[in-house]
Structures are given as C-alpha cells and as structure tokens.
Amino acid sequence: MREVAVIGVGIHKWGELWEKSLRDMYVESALNAIKDAGVDKIDSMYVGCMSSGLFTGQEHIASVLADYMGLNPIPACRVESACASGGLALRQGFIEVASGMSDVVLVSGVEKMTDVDGNAATYALGTAADQEYECYNGATFPGLYALIARAHMEKYGTTLEQMADVAVKNHDNGSHNPNAQYQFKVTRDQVMGSTLIADPLRILHCSGITDGAAAAILVPLDMAKSMAKGPVIKITGSGHATDTIALHSRKDMTFLNATAVAAERAYKMAGVGPKDIDFAEVHDCFSIAEICVSEALGFFENGQGGPAAEAGKTRIGGEIPINPSGGLKAKGHPVGATGIAQIHEVVEQLRGAEGDRAIKNAKRGLTQNMGGTGGSALVHILEVV
Amino acid sequence: MREVAVIGVGIHKWGELWEKSLRDMYVESALNAIKDAGVDKIDSMYVGCMSSGLFTGQEHIASVLADYMGLNPIPACRVESACASGGLALRQGFIEVASGMSDVVLVSGVEKMTDVDGNAATYALGTAADQEYECYNGATFPGLYALIARAHMEKYGTTLEQMADVAVKNHDNGSHNPNAQYQFKVTRDQVMGSTLIADPLRILHCSGITDGAAAAILVPLDMAKSMAKGPVIKITGSGHATDTIALHSRKDMTFLNATAVAAERAYKMAGVGPKDIDFAEVHDCFSIAEICVSEALGFFENGQGGPAAEAGKTRIGGEIPINPSGGLKAKGHPVGATGIAQIHEVVEQLRGAEGDRAIKNAKRGLTQNMGGTGGSALVHILEVV
C-alpha cells in the first residue's frame, strides 16, 4: 500500500443556511479545499452523505456534485454510514490512493438538514438506528443516548454535571471557531437549566441540526512532499469497525465497541497508542457520547471519562485536548460532513493554528466519527512527518 | 495493485417478495455467496443500495446487514450511485482487495422496493435524476427514457419494433432463468400492444419493480488459484465514470458518455477491445437503454444498436450475446442489487453454464451498470485465467 497524505482542506461557515442549497455549500467547501491544496486536477471523488434522499429528495448525489463541480466524467462515489459517512469517505479515499488506482482524490461530506421540518428531521435521523426494533416503537435519537447516559450514571456514578462540563468546554472552544454554528459560551448552570429533551438529557447536552459541507484532498505521500508549502501531514492510521445496530443487542450499552476496535486498528497501523496522541476531534453528538468515546479510545479508563471532563483534562492545555473545534456540540453536526470537518480541524492544528483554540506543538491528532448509537465507527490518525 | 478474483456468487429468486424483509433477502444471497466461495471468514463488506431510506425507512444499512450476518465488528460500507450502486460496490471491493487492505471482501447489493406504493416508488426512483430541474417539474423515469427513445428514433431511424425485439430477446432468455422475476416469453406484438407508459414506451419496454439481493466474494488472485475447484475468474478491467445528472445538459441525449468512458477505462485496464468480449450483461432498465448501451460499449456503431437487435446479433448464439440472464427486463431490477446480479450471471456463464441460456465456450464477459439516465456508469470485465 502506498503512503497517503492530506494536502488541502476546505470548509465554510455552518448553520441554518436557508439561502444555500446542498449543491452551493458543497461546491464552496470543495473549491476551498482544491485552492488550499493547489492541485490542478482531481482523479476521483468521494461524498459522505447520510440521507440526501430523506432530507432533500435527491439520491445519486455523488454524480450530482461531480456535475456541479464541473468534474465529470471522473468517478464519483457516495458512501453512507449514517453520521459516520464523512469519516467513511475519508477512509475510502485513503484506500483508493493507497491502492494506486488514483493520485488526487477529493474526499468530502455534506448534509442539508433544515429544508424539512423537525418531525421529518427526527424521522430521518432515526434511520441511523434500528428502525424496526427501536424507532418504530417510539425511540428517538436523544432517547437512545439518554438510555446510554442513564446506564453510564448507574454503572460508574457519572453525573449530569460532568456531562454539562463537556458542553461548556466545547462551547468555549467553538466560540473561537469562525466556522462554527454556535459561537457562544454556556455555563454549567445554563446547561443544567436548559429544556429537557429526553430525560436526563437537556437541549444543551445535544448537538444541533445543521447545514454544512467540508472537503479534503488526498495524494500519495511522495507527491505531498514535493508540493507542500508547509508541514507534510500523513494519514498514519485508519480503522473502521461496526457494532450491533440496536442498543438492546449489546452486552454493555456504556461501551462503544466499534470505536474501540476501530481505534485498535488505527493505533496498530500507526504504531502508536492513546498516550501518543496530542489531541482529538471526536463524535460528541450528545455530551455523554464524548465521555464514552474518550474511554473507548483509551484516553481514560472505563468510567473515568466523566471525572476527567470535570477535572479539565480534555480542555485545551489539558492532558488530552478533545474537540478544539467546538465539536459537534458548538460547531454543528451536518451528519454527512462531520467526519471530514474533523480532518479540517486536525490539519489546521497540525499546520500550527494560532489564537485561542490553538494546541501548541501538536504533531499527532486523532479523529473519531461514529454512526447511530455507535453501530459504525471510523478512527484516523494524522501526523506531521 | 494486487490482482483480484471472484470466487463465489450468491442470489435468490427475485420478485415481489412481501413475505421477505430486506434483511432476509440480503442474508440469503450473502450466505449463498459465502457457501459458494467456501471461505470461513470475511474481512470487509460493501453494500450497494440506492434508497433504503425512501423505500424502507432505514439508513446505516451496511451496519444493519453486518449485524444481521453476524459479521460485526468488520468494516461495512454502503455505497450509492442510484441504479449503479451494485456495480459501485463491486468496484470499491475490487479497490480494497487490490490495495492490500483486505483479503476476503463481500460485495453485495440489495433493494426492497415493494413495501411502498407506486407513487412513492416513482418518487424514490426519480431521486436518481436531477430532482430540482427534472422530476420536480413533472418528469418521471419512464418519461426521461422516452425522451432518449424519441431522440434516438429521430437521429438514427431506430424503430419501436427494434426496441420491442430487445424485450422479446430478454424475456426469452429470462424464461430459462430460475431466479428471474418474469419467467415468461413475450412476442413483438404483445410488446407493441401493451399499456402505454410514457409515449413511445409501453410497459413491456420497461423493467419492473423488484425486491432482491445478490452477493459475490472477492479475493486476491493468488488466493483464488489455491482455493478454486473450477475455473479461476479474474477481474481484468474496472471502469467508473460520471456524466451530467440532467439529460438537458448533454450535447447528445442518445449517447451514454459515462458508459463509453467507463468502458474505455475497463478495456484499457484489461488490454482488450469490444471485439474481444464473448458476451455482456448490460443495464436494460428500458429497451432503448440496451440499444444505447450496445453502442456506447463499442459493440455496434452509433445508430446501429436497433438494427443489430432486430437482426438477432445480441441473441444467445449471435455475434455478441447480451443479457443471457434475461436482463433487468425479465430478471427484475431491484436497483441496488442489479450490478451484483450481473456479476453472478457472468461468473455462472464463465464456469460453463448448461441449458438453454448457456453461452458456449465463454471465456470473457463484460458487465455494464448505470445510474439514473446514465449520470454514472460502471463497466467490469471478467475472464477465465
């Protein structure tokens, strides 16, 4: 397998973008990535998108976007793994460059979520869970994560305050991110006093509904070395794993096995362990998710994710900064785009970001993106080489 | 890149299968492929599926199916390119094995189309076209192919009788296929007198709405050589290309450019040309499509696809037999599964099929699968080595 590098990233300001279509957002972020990379051709493209069918009435979305980019007849492949669709697009592009089939691959993600009403969005997001056994019987996504939260509280003594601290940290970080949907800070009291969504989760424990896109350009490492104006950033590890689609089929609802297995694979490929990671962008669709993920990735022992968040270990400047971008919580969560936006943040940090959310001397970052309640997970490790 | 072989294929009887869920059909075909291959592990899986969201209310379908196969935590990736989703699953599996990332990869396709009513199915299929500029303004899929048919008739003098002959041939072939949805023959008069759907296309010019799944197992060629009990079948060519999503954006509606470009890439990789192909399975979603495809693949000059069909050149025993399986017309067209079922037929023929639809001494077969009105296309060449 050839070694693979990221040479360009692109994004735009996320939010409720009623004036922009899915096509508009996509083209803006992809052109930003192409400009950032300085390439003059694209050999192949991947689009991560969860449900353009239910959200916008359009499938065949990779061909639509290749057309709108003026890139046809290049191969264009849409991949879907619910909220992990972006991470999956990265992995498939990585495999294509590694195989030698293509040299310059555009990997991207997009979701236009606000063109339907709240009920339709709740239904569409529910298709990431086991519809037949979970959602058709009344479960919603916040409801499923509320079950995980209750189980974690019961088993480990995790508190609602600890979960609130995850949201406070991510809003602090997001307040410095010009592309974030919610660029404001919140206090623990505000989180604890916000509207109840699915007991015990309140609205400030939850990520929002977002329109957005993100893109990155992958090339063989040798090409990156000859082109790069700044640091050369290599993808040293890629892991992908699945778990049962339904929560009730798992031995332990508090443990995200797909994330643990994907991480194990990525660490092995990169030849590193959790202690070697300088910072991480992870899938905090709900604040309890970030706690569970920080355990499954091996940053903390099982049950210690909550106390670690409370102690500030995951803040910028802490032991292992998590979600310097603001995470899904503050940056927003256009489901198909999230996994690619994580790569955007890691690349910006490894290039030596400045300002209030910069992680000093960061050389190795990790991304973790997951689908549904963890039925799929992607973990990638990026390093300055 | 490593060389890649197909060592197992699986399918089941297609049709309106109200007693079988998407999960049931999928597991049946995938287990058949695993049994046929004789493998005892699967490293990774791809699922081609066009719109499980709109047809069944379930996304995250690769994780659902990995779960139901008992295969988690293996990586599972859903790919979508409308009606070319199956062919795309094959290509992505091919790239993964070629890259060295995995050895034994399950590639598969599935679509459950009859759990919604006709209007919902028409809407879902329309998401393969340009919804904003085509379907929201009243076009349907039969309507778009009717435009192509009219243009072909106008430009080349192609006749409705020639199109009918495509359907007659494919039903002849399908009448010998025990897995086909429509195992009956039709006459030219029956086609010409059948219900008008979108002028000039009549219902017997159109493929049906089908529930079905299909699967295949890919491995490195060296592994196939050491395992195979019969002929070793190598994938010698793989091509993938896109075209404008909307018909009105094309210079010539009668020419399927994505198919032509994908074929050129597959021929180049395999080191062969159209004259070297013994038989083909192609995307006859409408009878005019098979005529256009037979031209874009280089089997006939532009405009000669209709006369060739009328002269019997594409029948079994003819110059270049097309769709010995019965094609989408008679076998059925569960959109995500079609591209993999084509591989099933090619493998069975290359293994030395017997009976009325056998192609004698076939050593090299081609598959062509396309999305929408040709906005994406996949071409693969398989050979006995």
Give the pLDDT confidence score for residue A53 in this predicted structure: 96
For CA atoms A125, A127, A129, A133, the dihedral sign is positive
Parallel/antiparallel/unpaired status of strands A76-80 and B76-80: antiparallel
Task: Mark yes or no for CB contact A78/B74 under 8 Å.
Answer: no
Number of alpha carbons in the 13 Å side-chain half-sphere of residue B112: 21
Average of per-residue pLDDT values in chain B: 97
d(CA A325, CA B98): 36
- Topology of A140-205+236-384 in CATH? Peroxisomal Thiolase; Chain A, domain 1 (3.40.47)
- The boundaries of every CATH 3.40.47.10 domain in chain B are 4-117+210-227, 138-200+237-384
B171 carries an active-site annotation:
no
Q: In this predicted structure, what is the pLDDT of residue B229?
A: 83
CA distance A233 to chain B (A): 21
Contacts of A130 in chain B (CB under 8 A): 64
Tokens of A217: 């350009």
Q: Which of A127, A242, A370 to mutate to test the interface with B (most CBs of B within 10 A)?
A: A242
Residues of A in contact with B124 (CB under 8 A): 53, 59
Residue B82: left if φ>0, alpha if ψ -120 to 50, beta else—which one? left
pLDDT single digits (tens) A175-207? 999 999 999 999 999 999 999 999 999 999 999
Question: What confidence score (pLDDT) does residue B299 get?
Answer: 98
Active-site entry in B152, B171, B240, B333: B333
Q: What percent of chain B has pLDDT over 90?
A: 98
Q: Does the complex come out with an ipTM higher than 0.85? A: yes
Identify which of A235, A257, A330, A65 has the alpha carbon closest to the alpha carbon of residue B67: A257
**Chain A residue closest to B259 (CA)?**
A73
The four Cα atoms B51, A379, A160, A209 give a dihedral, to 10 degrees, of -40
d(CA B357, CA B175): 9
- Beta carbons of B111 and B61 less than 8 angstroms apart: no
Q: Which residue of A has its CA nearest to B123?
A: A57
For the segment A266-275, the average pLDDT, to the nearest whole number, is 98
Q: What is the pLDDT of residue B180?
A: 98
Which residues numbered 115-134 in B keep a CB inside 8 Å of some CB on A? Answer: 123-124, 127-132
Kind and range of the H or E run holding A369 = strand A364-371
pLDDT confidence band for A229 (50 / 70 / 90): confident
Q: How confident is the model at residue B174 (pLDDT cuts 50, 70, 90)?
A: very high
Domain B4-117+210-227 has CATH 3.40.50.1950: no
Per residue in B5-44, pLDDT tens? 999 999 999 999 999 999 999 999 999 999 999 999 999 9
Structure tokens at A290: 């970030």
Give yes or no for A301 touching B (CB within 8 A): no
pLDDT in tens, B247-305: 999 999 999 999 999 999 999 999 999 999 999 999 999 999 999 999 999 999 999 99
pLDDT tier, B101 (very low <50, low <70, confident <90, very high otherwise): very high
Sign of CA dihedral A363, A341, A245, A299: positive
pLDDT classification of A158: cutoffs 50, 70, 90: very high
- Chain B residues in contact with A60 by the CB 8 A cut-off are 80-82, 127-129, 245, 371-372, 375-376
- pLDDT band at A228, cuts 50/70/90? confident
Q: How many CB pairs under 8 A join A and B?
A: 206
The pLDDT assigned to B228 comes to: 78
Average of per-residue pLDDT across A31-56: 97
pLDDT category at A277 given cuts 50, 70, 90 is very high
Phi and psi at residue A170, in whole multiples of 5°?
-70, -35
At B72-81, the pLDDT tens digits run 999 999 999 9
- Which residues have C-beta within 8 Å of that of residue A60, sequence separation ≥ 6? A78, B80, B81, B82, B127, B128, B129, B245, B371, B372, B375, B376
Window A:90-109, CB contacts with B under 8 Å? 91-92, 95-96, 98-101
> CATH 3.40.47.10 residue ranges in chain A?
4-117+210-227, 140-205+236-384
For a pLDDT cut of 70, what percent of chain B falls above it? 100
Residue B291 buriedness (CB in 10 A; 0-12 / 13-18 / 19+): buried
Q: What is the DSSP letter of A229?
A: S
Furthest-apart CA pair in chain A: how many Å? 56
Measured between beta carbons, the chain B residues lying within 8 angstroms of A59 are: 50-51, 54, 80, 82, 124, 127-128
**What residues are paired with A366 via a beta bridge?**
A280, A381
Catalytic residue IDs of A: 83, 333
B349, B308 Cβ separation under 8 angstroms:
no
Q: Are strands A279-281 and A233-242 parallel, antiparallel or unpaired?
A: unpaired
Topology, domain B138-200+237-384: Peroxisomal Thiolase; Chain A, domain 1 (3.40.47)
